[in-house]
Amino acid sequence: MSKVSFRDHRTYLVHLLRVLHRAGAVPPAGIYDEVADGAAITDHERTTRGRFGLIYRNRIQFARQHLIDAGLMVGREDEGWKRGVWELNAAGHQLAAGTLPDEALDAELRKRGAEGAKRRAQARKASRQLAGLAEGEDAVPLADEPDSGTSDGNSALSIAELVDAANAAAMETMLEHVRGLTDRAFEYLVGSVLKAALRAESVKVTQKTRDGGIDGILSFDGLGMRIAVFEAKRYADGNTVGRSLIDAFATAARRHRAAHSLFVTTSRFSSEAITTGKDEAIRLIDGIAFVELMARHGIGLRERDSYVVYEIDPAWSVDSDEEQGATI
């Protein structure tokens, strides 16, 4: 198995997989040291703290996200998931029970995790495009402090992976909290987020009954002559918004003569709903995109740290400065 700094979460992948295969469904506090034992983490390393706690535990948490991305652990969107419990799924147990040596298993875990992270990034990109969000870096860089470097010389990749894993965990946790709100609380949250995102002057959440088929109205001028309307559906992840709901909302939006209409859900939209939304010029915002909007506007999620990673400028040289007559 390739050796990397103990700060790199990939150090723990094989050991976490094997420990969970033996232990079954367990709280993480009971296995941190066993995983660290397998990775030969020293006592000194186990007491090294970052800004947000013991670094080796943070890295094991990132390793867990890696295994979720690899499709080997039960995640929040999976049936049977329980808060505070780490558990391999059937695929994870099957891989752990196989005959692969540690080095080959490590390579397989890295490959699967990278593929899973890519799929997650593609899902985020699709949500952004559907919601009309500009592409860019994730809004909430939540990773621990950057590594001083890894022995494989790939510190920039390691930092990017840690940031991505931390952001994914924060976003998923927030989405879980949002799904746990009451319908009314979710409507008010959607109103607040859309007001900030659209820079509206005011927002009004409609009455629970006789709402005319919409949940809120955003006004962009003092007279309320230019408005946007929105519908907010707080659904579980598996409960997809279908075409009939978009059709009904489109009718309501036309009745209000809205300049813009937005449909927000904590779940996803069916392909038919997406097609209808585009035909009706309705902006569709799913759970992934909504939580990112919360992050971008500092509602419920805040920016923790930001980092700059330098590289050598290939166009620069001292000679070129001298040739240009640069003043030093």
For the cut 50, the answer to whether the pLDDT of residue 296 exceeds it is yes
Per-residue confidence band for 318, with pLDDT thresholds at 50, 70 and 90:
low
pLDDT value at residue 291:
94
DSSP type of residue 134: P
CA 286, CA 93: separation in Å to the nearest integer?
Answer: 32
Asked if 85 and 193 sit in the same domain, the reply is no
The pLDDT tens digits of the residues spanning 38-95 come to 999 888 888 888 766 788 898 898 899 889 989 999 987 777 788 889 999 999 999 9
DSSP type of residue 312: -
As given in the structure block, the two tokens for residue 45 are 């390393």
For the cut 80, the answer to whether the pLDDT of residue 179 exceeds it is yes
Tell me, yes or no, whether 37 lies in a domain.
yes
Contact (Cβ atoms closer than 8 angstroms) between residue 263 and residue 284: yes
pTM of the model: 0.66
Per-residue confidence band for 7, with pLDDT thresholds at 50, 70 and 90:
low
Per-residue confidence band for 192, with pLDDT thresholds at 50, 70 and 90:
very high
- Averaged pLDDT of the chain: 83
Tell me, yes or no, whether 170 lies in a domain.
no
For the cut 60, the answer to whether the pLDDT of residue 156 exceeds it is no
Asked if 109 and 215 sit in the same domain, the reply is no
Tell me, yes or no, whether 76 lies in a domain.
yes
* Residue 276 structural domain: 183-296
Strand order across the beta sheet in which 227-233 lies: 202-205, 216-219, 227-233, 260-265, 283-285
| E-assigned strand segments in the chain | 49-50, 53-54, 202-205, 216-219, 227-233, 260-265, 283-285
Q: Count the domains in the chain.
A: 2
Tell me, yes or no, whether 148 lies in a domain.
no
